[in-house]
Structure 1
Amino acid sequence: MNRRALSQKKYKATIKGQITEKKYKYSKTGRATKKRGRKNYYKNSRRKVLEKLGNQCVKCGFADIRALQIDHINGGGAKELKNMSINSFLKGVLLDNGSKYQLLCANCNWIKRHENNEYSKGRGRW
């Protein structure tokens, strides 16, 4: 084989590998694998944030992580989340060394929102 033929053979093998990789990436199994990875990343990030903030509601002491929510002490959480992904938000909470966030159970968080008039005025039923 001449030099050009060897070069083409090598090129085709490389391209074939790249095409196969792209096909897998966008196939159902590739998407499922990617989705599973994102879900695990979110769960781990949320767990770290909950640990940092004390793993319980600061008002009533409720500790079931399924109902704990990250609360902005001074409000403005909806505006902050509008401009970033949930993973970026969790990373920001982890990096925050001030007292900008707290953990509240779902009940305490809704009570706080109602008392401070933080609910959406266009969609609220109050």
Structure 2
Amino acid sequence: MCKAEKKCTHCKRLLELKDFHRKSSTNDGHRSICKECRKTNHKNLMVENSEYRKAHLKRQSRYTEKNKEIVMSNYSNGAMCCSHCGYDNMLALSIDHVNGGGCKHRQEINKNFYSWLRKNGFPEGYQVLCMNCQFVKRHKNNEWHCNR
């Protein structure tokens, strides 16, 4: 067996290491179950086990909230408020593309926007706006629909 290959403990196929998720605590740095089997197992658990589904959704929600908090803090220099009016309720704050084109950009990256911002080192061209200020900006700039 080549170093770049591994046998999935679930489906028993010999696959390249790129077909396994990373896991630093293992000897080879990868999980023992391939990505495909892990995805199938996760889907089955979500459908068949309501407690697992609730716990998963709760973990996901906490991660999303924390991610949003980190991004908002970065783009507001720690103020955690709208850059136009100062509104500070996190439920109504969002990241705005300063030069427009946000809808198209989010379609292109096809991922969680807050995660993308973090993974790309908080690039310039974004600001924190409350939903009211964002609505006004969209109206003034005629940014109503995403061209699909």
* TM-score, normalised relative to structure 2: 0.59
Match for residue 82 of structure 1 among 96, 107, 122 = 107
Aligned to 1:42: 64
CA RMSD of superposed structures (Å): 2.3
Q: Deviations over 1:61-105 (max 9, x none)?
A: 11111111110011111112224132xx11222234442110011
Unaligned runs of 5+ in 2: 1-40
Question: Percent identity of the aligned residues?
Answer: 29
Distance 1:48 1:121 in 2: 27
Aligned to 2:137: 112
- Displaced runs of 4 or more, over 6 A: none
Residues 29 and 121 of structure 1: is their aligned pair in 2 closer, same or farther, counting only changes over 3 Å?
closer
Distance 1:74 1:46 in 2: 21
Distance 1:31 1:121 in 2: 32
Check whether the contact 1:93–1:101 (CA below 8 A) recurs between aligned residues.
no
* Higher helix proportion (structure 1 or 2): 1
Distance 2:52 2:123 in 1: 40
Aligned residues: 99
* TM-score, normalised relative to structure 1: 0.68
Distance 1:77 1:100 in 2: 11
1:53 has 2:45 as partner: no
Unaligned runs of 5+ in 1: 1-21
Q: Which has the larger radius of gyration?
A: 1
* Higher strand proportion (structure 1 or 2): 2
SS across alignment from 2:64: helix
Check whether the contact 2:71–2:117 (CA below 8 A) recurs between aligned residues.
yes
